[in-house]
Amino acid sequence: MARVSIRINGVLHEADVEPRLLLVHFIRDVAGLTGTNIGCDTSQCGACTVIMNGRAAKSCTFLAVQCDGAEILTIEGLAKDGQLHPIQQAFWEKHGLQCGYCTPGMIMTAYHFLQMNPNPTEEEIRHALEGNICRCTGYHNIVKAIQYAAELMRGGAPAPTPAD
């Protein structure tokens, strides 16, 4: 067993874990944050994507012990003070999700991507989503949602939408 402490959405989670415990299982089973989903076992689907130390990461492809001391942002930490993040708002408004299972990973990937590229083309958005699989939307409305989110984030002041 190894002691790890990982800050997730601003909250420090400390636990003794087996070295083989995957980060995604730490997030889901130890920290109890089940918004981050698991869709495959070969690091293809991106459903488990979180932001680690500022960069999008497939949390199924890390051991929790590797991430000792890391800062992680998951889907649960995105809305602030009851206000949805513009990317969440855009996914809602543009029907960027159906079953919702790939959605947290899509949103977290977009979060990192839009920081690197605030004004992307459609082609750049599609390229950025290469590591995320969706079986419901055909990606059409996910692309539209990310374009819209980019607009919201650049323009700054769309009417905020309550988280619930």
Partner 1 sequence: MVQAPERLIGAEVKRKEDPRLITGQGTYVDNLKFVGTAYLAILRSPYAHARIKRIDASRARVHPKVLAVFTGEDLRRDGIGSIPVGWLLPDIKLPPHYPLAVDKARYVGDGVAAVVAEDRYSAYDALSLIEVEYEPLPAVVDQEAATRPGAPQVHDEAPNNICFKFAMVAGDVNRALAEADGVVRQRIINHRTSGSSVEPRAAVALYQPATGELTLYNTNQNPHLIRLLLALTMNYPEHKIRVIAPDVGGGFGTKIYLYPDEVVACYAAMKLGRPVKWVETRSEYLRATVHGRDHITDFEVAYKRDGTITGLKVTTYANLGAYISPFAPLIPTFLYVPMLHGPYKLPNVSAEVYGVFTNTTPVDATRGAGRPEATYLLERMVDLVARELNMDPADVRRKNVLEPFENYQTPLAFVYDSGNYPATLNRALELVDYARLREEQRRLREQGRYIGIGLSTYVEVTGAAPSQVAVSLGAQAGLFESAIVRVHPTGKVTVFTGSHTHGQGHETTFAQAIADEFGISIDDVEVVHGDTDAIPFGLGTYGSRSTPVGLTAAYIAGQRIIEKATKIAAHLLEAAEADIVFEGGRFFVRGAPERAVTFQEVALEAYVPRKIPADLELGLEATAFFNPSNFVFPFGTHVAVVEVDPETGQVKLLRYLAVDDVGRVINPMVVDGQVHGGVVHGIGQALWEQVVYDEQGNLLTGTWLDYAMPKAPDLPSFQTDRLETPSPVNPLGVKGAGETGTIASTPAVVNAVLDALAPFGVKHIDMPLTPERVWRALQAARGQG
Partner 2 sequence: MFPATFEYYAPTSLEEALNLLRQNPEAKVLAGGHSLIPAMKLRLATPPALVDLRRIPGLSGIRLEGDQLVIGAMTTYYDVQTSELVRQHVPVLAEATDVVGDLQVRNWGTVGGSLAHSDPAGDYPAIILALGAEVRARGPQGERTIPIDQFFVGMFTTALQPGEILTEVRIPVMGPGTGAAYVKFPHPASRYAVVGVCAVVGREDNICRQARIAVTGATLYATRATAAEQALQGQTLNADTIRAAAERAPEGLTITGDRVFASEEYRTHLVRVLTRRALMAAVEKIR
The footprint of partner 2 (CB under 8 A) covers 2, 18-20, 22, 38, 41-44, 46, 49, 55-58, 60-63, 65-66, 68, 109, 112-113, 127-132
Indicate whether 143 belongs to the interface with partner 1 (CB under 8 A): yes
From the number of C-beta atoms within 10 Å of its C-beta (0-12, 13-18, 19+), residue 96 rates as buried
Give the separation between CA 135 and CA 146, rounded to whole angstroms.
17
Decide: is 151 part of the binding site for partner 1 (CB under 8 A): no
| Contact in structure between 4 and 68 (CB atoms under 8 Å) | yes
Nearer to partner 1 by Cβ, of 37 and 67: the residue is 37
Task: Report how many residues bind partner 1 under the rule CB under 8 A.
Answer: 61
Contact of residue 149 among partner 1, partner 2, none (CB under 5-8 Å per partner type): none
Which residue type, as a one-letter code, is found at position 109?
Answer: T
Report residue 120 as tokens.
């992307």
Task: State the minimum distance, in angstroms, from the CB of residue 70 to partner 1.
Answer: 19
Q: How many residues does the chain have?
A: 164
59 binds partner 1 (CB under 8 A): no
Rounded Cα gap, residues 137 and 55, in angstroms: 25
Strand partners, 3: 16
Instruction: Name the nearest CA neighbour of 110 among 69, 148, 63.
Output: 148
Closest distance to partner 1 from the beta carbon of 86 (Å): 11
Residues near partner 1 (CB under 8 A) are 18, 20-21, 25, 28, 32-42, 44-45, 47, 74-76, 78-79, 84, 88, 91-93, 95, 97-104, 107, 122-123, 125-127, 129-130, 132-144, 163-164
